[in-house]
Amino acid sequence: MSRKAKLVLYGVLLVCCIPFVFPTWWINEIFAFSLLPHSMTLDAYRQVFALQPFGRQYLNSCYIAVIVTLGTLVVSSLAGYAFARIKFRGAGVVFVIVLAGLLVPNEVTIIPLYRMFDSLGLVNTHWPLILIPMLGAPSVLATFIMRQFFITLPRELEEAGRVDGLGRFGLFWQVSLPLARPAIGAVAIFTFLHSWNLYLEPIVFLSSKDKFTIPQALTQYVDAYGGAMWNVQLAAATMSALPVLIIFVLAQRQFVEGLAQTGLKG
């Protein structure tokens, strides 16, 4: 594509972005009934941090999402490789049972999980928000994606590794895993996004504002009468979308390749 054609394309895309960016201009005058804001101010963003410890809550969501993503990648890559490459009795049945975890709604398991974590003294901590996604349905989906990718790898690669004296873990770590970068990118984005948007578990397990995550924090911006402070909520929501946008921009190639290469190959 020529430089002129690229400039025209980027110009068209920039114009198309205006409807999506416009709400951030309109935050402080959401009830003004005017197409364009009369004044530009960052007061709504200031109130986000003044009304509650949003910085701490933002940090909570960040570190929880990072830990969940890394833990899920470890669990799903090992489990996916085992289901794809290690032959053992009942492997198909076990895999179907694991996939059945995707059919169980979170609302069904939340009460037993609450009682379990309460008995361990982990209520009002971040451990439930880390362990449940890492070992629950998001990890099952990640395992499925990793398994489908590992199945597509030629077996000749592992045979060559065995000739070089690699054991099972060596074949996984030095041969298969480095080739699974597209699948890892797809799993990382899915997992991070799920953890970042997690809502049911935080409202069940957390009660202290300094431990809240962003989805739960967004519901706390209300006035003295219990009505939503829409301008402040929109400002907080705008900031909450930035990490997901940054991660997708950085890993979009791996994301697309991962989805393309993890088809339903048996």
pLDDT at 182 over 60: yes
User: CA 222, 224, 230 angle in degrees (round to 5)?
Assistant: 30
Grade residue 23 by pLDDT with cuts at 50, 70 and 90: low
3-state secondary structure 41-68: CCHHHHHHHHHCCHHHHHHHHHHHHHHH
Residue 35 in any domain: the answer is no
Residue 66 in any domain: the answer is yes
Residue 214 in any domain: the answer is yes
**Percent of the chain beyond pLDDT 70?**
86
pLDDT at 230 over 50: yes
Residue 165 in any domain: the answer is yes
pLDDT at 157 over 50: yes
**What's the CATH code of the domain at 194?**
1.10.3720.10
Residue 12 in any domain: the answer is no
pLDDT at 10 over 60: yes
**Percent of the chain beyond pLDDT 90?**
39
User: CA 85, 86, 89 angle in degrees (round to 5)?
Assistant: 135
Task: Identify the sign of the CA torsion 173, 179, 183, 186.
Answer: positive
pLDDT digits (tens, 9 = 90+) for 107-116: 889 999 999 9
Q: What is the pTM of this model?
A: 0.82
Grade residue 121 by pLDDT with cuts at 50, 70 and 90: very high
Residue 26 in any domain: the answer is no
Among candidates 198, 217, 219, 200, which has minimal Cα distance to 114? 200
Residue 266 in any domain: the answer is no
List residues bridging with 228 in a β-sheet: 222
Mean pLDDT computed over 83-88: 89
How much is the pLDDT for 266?
A: 42
Question: CA-to-CA distance for 216 and 61, rounded, in angstroms?
Answer: 10
DSSP per-residue string spanning 76-96: HHHHHHHHHH---TTHHHHHH
Write b or e for each residue in 28-59: b if 16 or more Cβ atoms lie within 10 A of its Cβ, otherwise e: bbeeeeeeeeeeeeeebbebbeeebebeebbe
Least confident piece of the model among 54-58, 137-141, 205-209, 229-233: 229-233
How much is the pLDDT for 144?
A: 92
Number of domains present in the structure of the chain:
1
Domain limits for position 203:
40-261
Residue 183 in any domain: the answer is yes
